[in-house]
A and B are shown apart, each in its own frame.
Chain A
């Protein structure tokens, strides 16, 4: 289990440093990397919720902290001119309806902040507590992707 935590943390660090390297010149690559870190955190959370992975408060906290880092940064990587290219699945609605996008992003940030706050220094005490804190965070995936993401094969 400990090994998993190390592995998971290393992975998060990798994603975030990958973001730093290319941030300046390639916003599409950065936002993709950030979104992949969200997926990885969702996968870790989901595996514990499903019972495929034993519950561990530190792992739960790592997942929430990764969501938080991504939520804080994500919105900065949709500059004008990055609407298309590199198989982006960002929907035109992001640029056509910037207020709506900001609102969705703000909700994600607020939900993550609340979850992190509720989980305390050591992470949510048990699986039930984790489910309660991470549930609203995960619901943002669907609500935001409904309007702001398209499928491309």
Chain B
């Protein structure tokens, strides 16, 4: 009897132990972080706009100065449950004011909280993993200059099994990597590579424009080929250079859209992209041009059958 019990219990313990090991929250290597330059808030502001941080972390509908009060609160209603963006203002109690730079880099680039817990990937750290640590340090320096907000955003509303954060360790093993999604041949124009860095990293374009598997990972073979909207109704368009996407758009058309929100047919930006486009207007022209060059250079992917 005892032996039988042992046969049953031991594999469970072994499996449990293995699960525990492979799902542990992995932090960045500490050594390279020590070599970073002190964060530059001026450079960080540009990263802030590229990332569109305010679009989720400012209160809904905030304009002007209020857009810099990162109280959180935006609710993303997804098939996995409702994720609410947290307060990331420099308030030490309600925001991230008590964090050090390494805490911030681990949160942004590895999805790990200072307490060593996994964040849910509604916070798109699988894109941010591709950023340069120095850019993230600059962003942190910029966030420190913003007004502290002493209030908590609501918590997430999730159902089992998504309430088990630990399981995200496995998910990250599948989907978190620093390498770019699209590999270009040697000698690709500098502008395209810079656009790739902006779009695949801080800009996190793929998070909405790429379809996801049933466990919520991005399907890299349909990169930027359009997807059902994650929140609300409708679809997110294909932005690859295929005929179903931006095939007929010139790079100048794409840049004009980023600047004004108008397509070549003078249809206008809408939905969640409206806030993104507004952020894009705040970037230097060369960043908009680089992203446009990248979008014309990614593989064409047509409509899915």
Q: Do A and B truly interact?
A: yes
Could you tell me if B274 and A145 are in contact, using CB atoms closer than 8 angstroms? yes
28 contacts between A and B (CB under 8 A): A39-B265, A39-B266, A39-B268, A42-B262, A42-B268, A50-B256, A89-B234, A91-B232, A91-B233, A92-B233, A142-B261, A142-B270, A142-B277, A145-B268, A145-B269, A145-B270, A145-B271, A146-B274, A146-B275, A149-B270, A150-B233, A150-B234, A150-B271, A151-B234, A152-B234, A152-B235, A153-B226, A153-B235
A152 CA / B210 CA spacing, docked (Å): 15
A153 CA / B226 CA spacing, docked (Å): 8
Could you tell me if B270 and A39 are in contact, using CB atoms closer than 8 angstroms? no
Closest to B265 in A: A39
Could you tell me if B265 and A150 are in contact, using CB atoms closer than 8 angstroms? no
Chain B contact residues, CB within 8 Å of chain A? 226, 229, 232-237, 256, 260-262, 265-271, 274-275, 277-278
A39 CA / B262 CA spacing, docked (Å): 9
Chain A contact residues, CB within 8 Å of chain B? 39-40, 42-43, 46, 50, 89, 91-92, 138, 141-143, 145-146, 149-153
Q: Chain A residues near B232 (CB, 8 Å)? A: 91, 150
Q: Chain A residues near B268 (CB, 8 Å)? A: 39, 42, 141-142, 145
Counted as pairs of residues, one from A and one from B, with CB atoms less than 8 Å apart, the total is 62
Q: A39-B267, A153-B226 are in contact. List 8 more A-B contacts (CB 8 A).
A: A91-B234, A142-B274, A145-B269, A145-B274, A146-B275, A151-B229, A151-B235, A153-B237
Describe A's contact surface by its main secondary structure. helix
Q: Name the distance in Å between B172's Cβ and chain A's nearest Cβ.
A: 30
Closest to A141 in B: B268
Q: Name the distance in Å between B249's Cβ and chain A's nearest Cβ.
A: 15
| CB within 8 Å for A46 and B271 given contacts A150-B233, A151-B235, A153-B237 | no
Closest to A140 in B: B268
Q: Chain B residues near A138 (CB, 8 Å)? A: 260, 262
Q: Chain A residues near B277 (CB, 8 Å)? A: 142
